Structure 1
């Protein structure tokens, strides 16, 4: 019998750390390395745990994540970093295996994997196929808004939204943020799609717990290849064919909105942003209006699932040689 793999979660008290720990509890073939609560800030004790592990999940602020990486002395210890610290860093593998066969193989062989951001995951899944297949130019003027549940902001934001004060300003309406147009996910969104010009990106947080959707408008006349909406939909179907966690939903246009098939997957004429909650799925919708020469790409995920802990576990499975969808 193969020995159990040893796993250490550094930063287990945060939202992502707790979810990763919960998911790991389903495994019988791993051993969780535990650290005494009163020693969780003891650098020597953490160093011992890190170098004892086969895989370490970092669920820490950026600076703390960089510090921990410097403590690794065991050449066999593999790191999955859920922070922003290493998503564009040289020597790190970006943990979004569905982008291509090469991406998945790189993760399997890597000892340093950066887990993607939640907004970035949905955005990159939407844009990468178009740039990769030379349908969208790298300097295309991409715009995107992304709406997410408040759990994406971690403990402090959760507390603000769940304050029962009747005058709580956070619960009045959805709230656009990052108004300086310099969101921390932008660097990885550009690097891992191949865009050379920054997208105009506006995230929005709303008064529900979890669920995220990016919306990207497309003027088809500006594309390198003049595809109609149905053909654009076909690009996604082909690119993500056979992927276990990516589902390209049926094409939507004015005509299809009259069909029973479409009305089974939309909610009162609209999309349910929370439909992927408690899963590791991403669902991609292509909407088109050929008469107007416009299309829309909407990708929905669970911001705590495929946007965080689910993706981390998927990457762990690949790095340890488990089935990609094991316990997901």
Structure 2
């Protein structure tokens, strides 16, 4: 017997990709609304209550309202918005960090943000192990494909014939701080303060690199190899998170201009030649493990399936 899924907000970038991925799977049945009823609250409420699983791909306020439309104690929810990522009663949907059992048993699961996925994958295990401090003023530099900005940013890059010529080749933003991802980065890494977060956008549709640079004073008594080995042990056996040993000849990390859809995440720890620094780097697809792929992984776990069922993990 297949489980039913309703994607509320299926016309957005994340929702479209989830719907396309589920369409080829026999273990789920996707409940859909005609285009002219997508914003009909009565029709949405009916499917939210009919579905075994509801995946919310909505703005924050709309996601909160959608949860309020569920009148039963049966429908299970995955929320891809920011609204519930640090909310009481919600399980953070990063199975590698919170444990698959927690996600499997949860009724309400909040899908992580794309940037926080990279940051937390690197930092949270090391803080838990006591290898780096919880009260350090961490900085996080990250670049993402423009699809992470939703329809408005995609339009800016693709909307006109000359969009690629006139759109920025590098777009730094969040310059005044207060980015919406900061609360989950702090809370789920177990930090005493929010990191200094410097996000930017590149003229590529998908893909993301997240970096946390550490001076040696942040990991006194250890070295880059210790940090890398701790991450390798933490993610041992994961089919989705891979800790890569850097090739001695490796002088660069590249983000392809035409990255293929991918649901994995690669982690690196590079050490300075004189042991004076470590650079923690995560490479992922902002629409894969950073959004739609993570939602599908959470859906798999909640439905009692292997976490990597139907995921795109080949590169």
Provide the TM-score with structure 2 as the length reference.
Answer: 0.94
How many Å apart are 1:164 and its aligned residue? 3.0
| Number of residues of Structure 1 aligned to a counterpart in Structure 2 | 309
RMSD value over aligned CA atoms?
Answer: 1.6
Describe the shift of the 1:306–1:167 C-alpha distance in structure 2 as closer, same or farther (beyond 3 A). Answer: closer
Partner of 1:249: 244
- SS at the partner of 2:133? coil
Q: Aligned runs of 1:176-215 on 2, under 5 Å?
A: 176-215=172-211
Is 1:291 aligned with 2:274? yes
> Are 1:26 and 1:327, in contact at CA under 8 Å, matched by a contact in 2?
no
- Find the aligned partners of 1:271 and 1:321 in 2 and give their Cα distance: 36
- Find the aligned partners of 2:259 and 2:164 in 1 and give their Cα distance: 31
Q: Find the partner of 1:160 among 156, 162, 167.
A: 156
* Structure 1 residues without counterparts, runs of 5 or longer: 263-268
Q: Find the partner of 1:304 among 283, 287, 302.
A: 287
- Find the aligned partners of 2:195 and 2:202 in 1 and give their Cα distance: 22
- Find the aligned partners of 1:146 and 1:42 in 2 and give their Cα distance: 38
Q: Aligned runs of 1:1-328 on 2, under 5 Å?
A: 3-99=1-97, 102-162=98-158, 163-165=160-162, 169-171=166-168, 173-223=169-219, 225-251=220-246, 256-257=248-249, 262=250, 269-274=251-256, 277-289=260-272, 291-328=274-311
Provide the TM-score with structure 1 as the length reference.
Answer: 0.91
> Are 1:245 and 1:280, in contact at CA under 8 Å, matched by a contact in 2?
yes
* Structure 2 residues without counterparts, runs of 5 or longer: none
How many Å apart are 1:276 and its aligned residue? 7.1
How many Å apart are 1:103 and its aligned residue? 2.5
- SS at the partner of 1:23? helix
> Are 1:276 and 1:301, in contact at CA under 8 Å, matched by a contact in 2?
no
How many Å apart are 1:201 and its aligned residue? 0.6
> Are 1:217 and 1:294, in contact at CA under 8 Å, matched by a contact in 2?
yes
